[in-house]
Protein backbone atom coordinates (compact mmCIF):
# COMPACT_ATOMS: atom_id res chain seq x y z
CA UNK A 1 0.00 0.00 0.00
CA UNK A 2 1.27 3.46 -0.85
CA UNK A 3 2.19 5.91 1.88
CA UNK A 4 -0.81 8.20 1.16
CA UNK A 5 -3.15 5.23 1.48
CA UNK A 6 -1.65 4.30 4.87
CA UNK A 7 -2.20 7.82 6.18
CA UNK A 8 -5.78 7.83 4.93
CA UNK A 9 -6.43 4.44 6.55
CA UNK A 10 -5.08 5.71 9.86
CA UNK A 11 -7.35 8.77 9.71
CA UNK A 12 -10.34 6.65 8.84
CA UNK A 13 -9.68 4.44 11.85
CA UNK A 14 -10.00 7.42 14.14
CA UNK A 15 -6.25 8.00 14.50
CA UNK A 16 -4.57 11.34 13.91
CA UNK A 17 -2.30 11.22 10.88
CA UNK A 18 0.90 13.05 11.78
CA UNK A 19 2.99 14.84 9.19
CA UNK A 20 6.19 13.01 8.39
CA UNK A 21 8.33 15.80 9.92
CA UNK A 22 6.59 15.42 13.28
CA UNK A 23 7.31 11.73 13.64
CA UNK A 24 9.84 10.75 16.27
CA UNK A 25 13.39 10.72 15.04
CA UNK A 26 15.50 7.63 15.48
CA UNK A 27 17.96 7.67 18.38
CA UNK A 28 20.37 9.36 18.52
CA UNK A 29 19.14 12.55 16.89
CA UNK A 30 21.69 14.84 18.56
CA UNK A 31 25.10 14.68 20.30
CA UNK A 32 25.42 12.59 23.47
CA UNK A 33 27.10 13.93 26.62
CA UNK A 34 29.26 11.46 28.54
CA UNK A 35 30.10 12.58 32.08
CA UNK A 36 33.49 11.48 33.37
CA UNK A 37 33.53 12.24 37.12
CA UNK A 38 37.26 12.99 37.19
CA UNK A 39 39.62 15.63 35.88
CA UNK A 40 40.73 15.54 32.26
CA UNK A 41 43.91 13.64 31.49
CA UNK A 42 43.48 10.71 33.86
CA UNK A 43 43.08 7.03 32.86
CA UNK A 44 39.27 7.01 32.98
CA UNK A 45 39.13 10.20 30.93
CA UNK A 46 41.62 8.87 28.36
CA UNK A 47 39.72 5.59 27.98
CA UNK A 48 36.40 7.44 27.67
CA UNK A 49 37.69 9.69 24.88
CA UNK A 50 39.14 6.81 22.86
CA UNK A 51 35.95 4.77 23.10
CA UNK A 52 33.56 7.70 22.61
CA UNK A 53 35.19 8.80 19.38
CA UNK A 54 34.66 5.40 17.78
CA UNK A 55 31.21 4.92 19.34
CA UNK A 56 30.14 8.28 17.94
CA UNK A 57 31.14 7.13 14.48
CA UNK A 58 29.04 3.98 14.91
CA UNK A 59 26.04 6.00 16.14
CA UNK A 60 26.34 8.80 13.61
CA UNK A 61 26.42 11.42 16.37
CA UNK A 62 29.22 13.00 18.37
CA UNK A 63 29.79 11.78 21.92
CA UNK A 64 31.06 14.69 23.99
CA UNK A 65 33.07 13.98 27.16
CA UNK A 66 32.28 16.34 30.04
CA UNK A 67 34.64 16.24 33.03
CA UNK A 68 32.79 16.81 36.32
CA UNK A 69 35.28 16.08 39.08
CA UNK A 70 35.19 16.42 42.85
CA UNK A 71 34.37 14.47 46.02
CA UNK A 72 35.82 11.17 44.85
CA UNK A 73 33.76 11.23 41.68
CA UNK A 74 30.43 11.52 43.48
CA UNK A 75 29.54 14.95 42.03
CA UNK A 76 29.76 13.82 38.43
CA UNK A 77 28.05 10.49 39.04
CA UNK A 78 25.18 12.24 40.86
CA UNK A 79 24.76 14.63 37.94
CA UNK A 80 24.45 11.70 35.55
CA UNK A 81 21.95 9.97 37.85
CA UNK A 82 19.71 13.08 37.81
CA UNK A 83 19.78 13.46 34.02
CA UNK A 84 16.76 12.71 31.85
CA UNK A 85 16.65 8.99 30.94
CA UNK A 86 16.62 9.71 27.21
CA UNK A 87 20.07 8.41 26.28
CA UNK A 88 21.62 11.84 25.79
CA UNK A 89 23.48 11.99 29.12
CA UNK A 90 25.58 9.04 30.24
CA UNK A 91 28.28 8.35 32.80
CA UNK A 92 31.60 6.68 32.16
CA UNK A 93 33.14 5.89 35.50
CA UNK A 94 35.19 3.35 37.41
CA UNK A 95 34.34 0.98 40.21
CA UNK A 96 35.49 3.38 42.92
CA UNK A 97 32.57 5.73 42.47
CA UNK A 98 29.89 3.04 42.35
CA UNK A 99 31.24 0.34 44.66
CA UNK A 100 34.01 1.52 46.97
CA UNK A 101 32.48 4.92 47.72
CA UNK A 102 29.61 3.15 49.46
CA UNK A 103 32.03 2.44 52.30
CA UNK A 104 33.99 5.69 52.05
CA UNK A 105 31.06 8.11 52.40
CA UNK A 106 28.35 8.19 55.04
CA UNK A 107 25.78 9.23 52.46
CA UNK A 108 25.94 9.11 48.67
CA UNK A 109 23.69 11.26 46.45
CA UNK A 110 22.85 8.20 44.35
CA UNK A 111 22.17 4.49 44.69
CA UNK A 112 24.70 2.62 42.58
CA UNK A 113 22.46 -0.34 41.83
CA UNK A 114 19.09 1.40 41.57
CA UNK A 115 19.79 4.70 39.83
CA UNK A 116 21.52 3.45 36.68
CA UNK A 117 21.08 1.20 33.66
CA UNK A 118 24.41 -0.52 32.88
CA UNK A 119 25.45 -0.28 29.22
CA UNK A 120 28.74 -2.15 29.11
CA UNK A 121 32.28 -2.58 30.38
CA UNK A 122 34.81 -0.36 28.65
CA UNK A 123 38.06 -1.83 29.94
CA UNK A 124 40.03 -2.77 33.04
CA UNK A 125 43.21 -1.08 34.23
CA UNK A 126 45.91 -3.05 36.05
CA UNK A 127 47.93 -1.36 38.78
CA UNK A 128 51.58 -1.26 39.73
CA UNK A 129 53.31 -0.87 43.10
CA UNK A 130 55.93 1.82 42.52
CA UNK A 131 58.48 3.36 44.87
CA UNK A 132 60.90 6.26 44.85
CA UNK A 133 64.08 5.20 43.10
CA UNK A 134 66.32 5.51 46.16
CA UNK A 135 64.15 3.31 48.39
CA UNK A 136 66.53 0.59 49.70
CA UNK A 137 64.21 -2.27 48.67
CA UNK A 138 64.75 -3.73 45.20
CA UNK A 139 62.18 -6.55 45.31
CA UNK A 140 58.74 -6.96 46.82
CA UNK A 141 59.94 -9.21 49.70
CA UNK A 142 62.58 -6.60 50.53
CA UNK A 143 59.92 -3.88 50.30
CA UNK A 144 57.61 -5.75 52.65
CA UNK A 145 60.40 -6.25 55.18
CA UNK A 146 61.45 -2.60 54.91
CA UNK A 147 57.93 -1.24 55.46
CA UNK A 148 57.34 -3.48 58.46
CA UNK A 149 60.67 -2.44 60.00
CA UNK A 150 60.08 1.27 59.36
CA UNK A 151 56.32 1.48 59.77
CA UNK A 152 56.40 4.71 61.79
CA UNK A 153 58.39 6.69 59.22
CA UNK A 154 57.29 5.19 55.88
CA UNK A 155 54.75 7.20 53.88
CA UNK A 156 52.56 6.28 50.93
CA UNK A 157 50.81 8.65 48.56
CA UNK A 158 47.53 8.57 46.69
CA UNK A 159 45.50 10.82 44.42
CA UNK A 160 42.59 11.46 46.79
CA UNK A 161 39.76 9.65 48.59
CA UNK A 162 38.21 7.06 46.29
CA UNK A 163 40.93 7.36 43.64
CA UNK A 164 42.34 4.17 42.15
CA UNK A 165 45.64 4.79 43.96
CA UNK A 166 43.72 5.07 47.23
CA UNK A 167 42.07 1.70 46.68
CA UNK A 168 45.27 -0.06 45.62
CA UNK A 169 47.24 1.30 48.56
CA UNK A 170 44.42 0.66 51.01
CA UNK A 171 44.23 -3.02 50.06
CA UNK A 172 48.02 -3.39 50.01
CA UNK A 173 48.56 -1.86 53.45
CA UNK A 174 45.68 -3.85 54.90
CA UNK A 175 47.05 -7.14 53.60
CA UNK A 176 50.61 -6.26 54.70
CA UNK A 177 49.13 -5.48 58.14
CA UNK A 178 50.85 -2.11 58.43
CA UNK A 179 49.61 1.31 59.44
CA UNK A 180 51.69 3.88 57.56
CA UNK A 181 51.18 7.59 57.07
CA UNK A 182 48.88 8.34 54.14
CA UNK A 183 49.57 11.42 51.99
CA UNK A 184 46.50 12.46 49.95
CA UNK A 185 46.92 14.63 46.85
CA UNK A 186 44.52 16.42 44.56
CA UNK A 187 45.13 14.22 41.57
CA UNK A 188 47.57 11.67 40.22
CA UNK A 189 49.85 14.21 38.55
CA UNK A 190 50.91 15.99 41.76
CA UNK A 191 51.28 12.68 43.57
CA UNK A 192 53.53 11.20 40.90
CA UNK A 193 55.63 14.36 40.75
CA UNK A 194 56.30 14.10 44.47
CA UNK A 195 57.08 10.39 44.26
CA UNK A 196 59.61 11.11 41.51
CA UNK A 197 61.21 13.79 43.68
CA UNK A 198 61.26 11.44 46.69
CA UNK A 199 58.76 13.29 48.88
CA UNK A 200 57.15 10.00 49.96
CA UNK A 201 58.04 6.32 49.63
CA UNK A 202 55.52 4.43 47.51
CA UNK A 203 52.12 4.29 45.87
CA UNK A 204 49.95 1.84 43.94
CA UNK A 205 48.52 3.37 40.80
CA UNK A 206 47.17 2.45 37.39
CA UNK A 207 49.77 1.20 34.92
CA UNK A 208 48.86 3.82 32.32
CA UNK A 209 49.89 6.53 34.79
CA UNK A 210 53.18 5.10 35.98
CA UNK A 211 54.59 3.30 32.93
CA UNK A 212 56.30 6.39 31.46
CA UNK A 213 58.03 7.15 34.77
CA UNK A 214 59.09 3.51 35.22
CA UNK A 215 60.44 3.33 31.67
CA UNK A 216 62.24 6.64 32.20
CA UNK A 217 63.98 5.30 35.30
CA UNK A 218 62.41 7.93 37.56
CA UNK A 219 60.70 5.42 39.88
CA UNK A 220 61.00 1.66 40.45
CA UNK A 221 58.32 -0.99 39.91
CA UNK A 222 58.14 -3.64 42.64
CA UNK A 223 55.02 -5.58 41.69
CA UNK A 224 51.85 -5.60 39.59
CA UNK A 225 48.34 -5.98 40.95
CA UNK A 226 47.06 -8.61 38.53
CA UNK A 227 47.45 -12.38 38.87
CA UNK A 228 49.41 -12.48 35.60
CA UNK A 229 52.43 -10.38 34.68
CA UNK A 230 51.90 -7.44 32.36
CA UNK A 231 53.30 -7.65 28.82
CA UNK A 232 54.50 -4.05 29.26
CA UNK A 233 56.50 -5.04 32.39
CA UNK A 234 57.47 -8.69 31.83
CA UNK A 235 60.28 -8.64 34.40
CA UNK A 236 58.10 -7.28 37.21
CA UNK A 237 56.42 -10.07 39.24
CA UNK A 238 52.85 -9.99 40.43
CA UNK A 239 52.46 -9.03 44.07
CA UNK A 240 50.65 -12.33 44.57
CA UNK A 241 53.55 -14.42 43.24
CA UNK A 242 56.08 -12.26 45.10
CA UNK A 243 54.64 -13.22 48.46
CA UNK A 244 51.38 -11.40 49.25
CA UNK A 245 49.00 -14.18 48.31
CA UNK A 246 45.54 -13.11 47.20
CA UNK A 247 46.44 -9.52 46.39
CA UNK A 248 44.57 -8.55 43.22
CA UNK A 249 43.30 -5.07 42.43
CA UNK A 250 42.13 -3.96 39.01
CA UNK A 251 40.05 -0.92 38.13
CA UNK A 252 37.17 -1.53 35.75
CA UNK A 253 35.46 1.28 33.83
CA UNK A 254 31.99 1.20 32.34
CA UNK A 255 29.19 3.15 30.67
CA UNK A 256 25.96 3.78 32.60
CA UNK A 257 22.70 5.51 31.70
CA UNK A 258 20.17 7.03 34.13
CA UNK A 259 17.53 4.66 35.48
CA UNK A 260 14.56 4.41 33.16
CA UNK A 261 16.50 4.65 29.91
CA UNK A 262 14.76 2.37 27.42
CA UNK A 263 16.11 -1.08 26.62
CA UNK A 264 16.25 -0.09 22.95
CA UNK A 265 18.54 2.87 23.66
CA UNK A 266 20.74 0.80 25.99
CA UNK A 267 21.01 -1.90 23.31
CA UNK A 268 22.00 0.63 20.64
CA UNK A 269 24.66 2.14 22.90
CA UNK A 270 25.98 -1.32 23.73
CA UNK A 271 26.22 -2.14 20.02
CA UNK A 272 28.26 1.02 19.49
CA UNK A 273 30.52 0.06 22.41
CA UNK A 274 31.09 -3.39 20.92
CA UNK A 275 31.94 -1.77 17.59
CA UNK A 276 34.55 0.38 19.34
CA UNK A 277 36.02 -2.56 21.28
CA UNK A 278 36.27 -4.54 18.05
CA UNK A 279 38.07 -1.80 16.15
CA UNK A 280 41.72 -2.72 15.54
CA UNK A 281 42.99 0.85 15.98
CA UNK A 282 41.13 1.20 19.27
CA UNK A 283 42.41 -2.16 20.49
CA UNK A 284 46.00 -1.26 19.59
CA UNK A 285 45.80 2.08 21.37
CA UNK A 286 44.29 0.59 24.53
CA UNK A 287 46.88 -2.18 24.57
CA UNK A 288 49.58 0.51 24.53
CA UNK A 289 47.93 1.96 27.64
CA UNK A 290 47.94 -1.47 29.34
CA UNK A 291 44.12 -1.58 29.36
CA UNK A 292 42.67 -5.09 29.49
CA UNK A 293 39.90 -5.32 26.90
CA UNK A 294 36.67 -7.12 27.79
CA UNK A 295 35.32 -10.00 25.74
CA UNK A 296 31.99 -9.60 23.97
CA UNK A 297 30.34 -11.57 26.77
CA UNK A 298 31.92 -9.38 29.46
CA UNK A 299 30.82 -6.16 27.74
CA UNK A 300 27.06 -6.78 27.98
CA UNK A 301 24.75 -4.74 30.26
CA UNK A 302 24.00 -7.87 32.27
CA UNK A 303 27.69 -8.62 32.80
CA UNK A 304 28.38 -5.06 33.96
CA UNK A 305 25.49 -5.25 36.42
CA UNK A 306 26.96 -8.45 37.85
CA UNK A 307 30.44 -6.87 37.91
CA UNK A 308 29.12 -3.92 39.91
CA UNK A 309 27.45 -6.16 42.49
CA UNK A 310 30.58 -8.32 42.82
CA UNK A 311 32.71 -5.22 43.38
CA UNK A 312 30.36 -3.94 46.08
CA UNK A 313 30.42 -7.34 47.77
CA UNK A 314 34.25 -7.36 47.69
CA UNK A 315 35.18 -3.77 48.45
CA UNK A 316 32.70 -2.60 51.06
CA UNK A 317 33.75 -5.26 53.61
CA UNK A 318 37.43 -4.77 52.65
CA UNK A 319 37.31 -1.03 53.31
CA UNK A 320 35.45 -1.56 56.56
CA UNK A 321 37.97 -4.21 57.66
CA UNK A 322 40.78 -1.77 56.95
CA UNK A 323 39.29 0.52 59.60
CA UNK A 324 38.60 3.44 57.23
CA UNK A 325 36.08 5.87 58.72
CA UNK A 326 33.49 7.10 56.19
CA UNK A 327 33.43 10.84 55.56
Distance CA 285, CA 124 (A): 14
pLDDT by residue (tens digit) across 99-136?
A: 999 999 999 999 999 999 999 999 999 999 999 999 99
Three-point CA angle 292, 296, 301, nearest 5°: 100
Within this chain, domains 32-124+251-321 and 126-224 share the same CATH topology: yes
Please report the pLDDT score of residue 186 as a whole number: 86
The architecture of the domain spanning 126-224 is 3-Layer(aba) Sandwich (3.40)
- Quote the mean pLDDT of the chain: 91
The residue-averaged pLDDT of 37-65 equals: 95
Domain extents for the chain? 32-124+251-321, 126-224
The residue-averaged pLDDT of 240-246 equals: 97
Give, for 273, the enclosing helix (H) or strand (E). Answer: helix 263-277
Residue 22 DSSP symbol: G
Per-residue pLDDT at 7 exceeds 50: no
- Domain 32-124+251-321 sits in CATH at 3.40.190.150
Per-residue pLDDT at 36 exceeds 90: yes
Confidence at 25, pLDDT banded by 50, 70, 90: low
User: Which of 103, 85, 119 shows the shortest CA–CA distance to 258?
Assistant: 85
Q: Which of 70-74, 136-140, 260-264 has the lowest mean pLDDT?
A: 70-74
Q: Enumerate residues 6+ apart whose C-beta is below 8 A from 112.
A: 98, 99, 102, 308, 312
pLDDT by residue (tens digit) across 142-186?
A: 999 999 999 999 999 999 888 899 999 999 999 999 999 999 998
Distance CA 92, CA 185 (A): 23
Confidence at 42, pLDDT banded by 50, 70, 90: confident
Amino acid sequence: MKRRGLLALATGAGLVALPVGAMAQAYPAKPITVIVPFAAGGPTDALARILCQRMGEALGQQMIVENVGGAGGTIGVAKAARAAPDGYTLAFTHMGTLAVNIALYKSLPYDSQKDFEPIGLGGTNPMVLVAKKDLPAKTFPEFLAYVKANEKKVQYGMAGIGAASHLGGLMLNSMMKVNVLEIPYKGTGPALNDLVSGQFDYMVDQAVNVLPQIQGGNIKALGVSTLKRLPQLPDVPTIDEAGLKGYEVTIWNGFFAPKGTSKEVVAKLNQALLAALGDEKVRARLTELAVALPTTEDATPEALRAQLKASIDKWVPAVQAAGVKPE
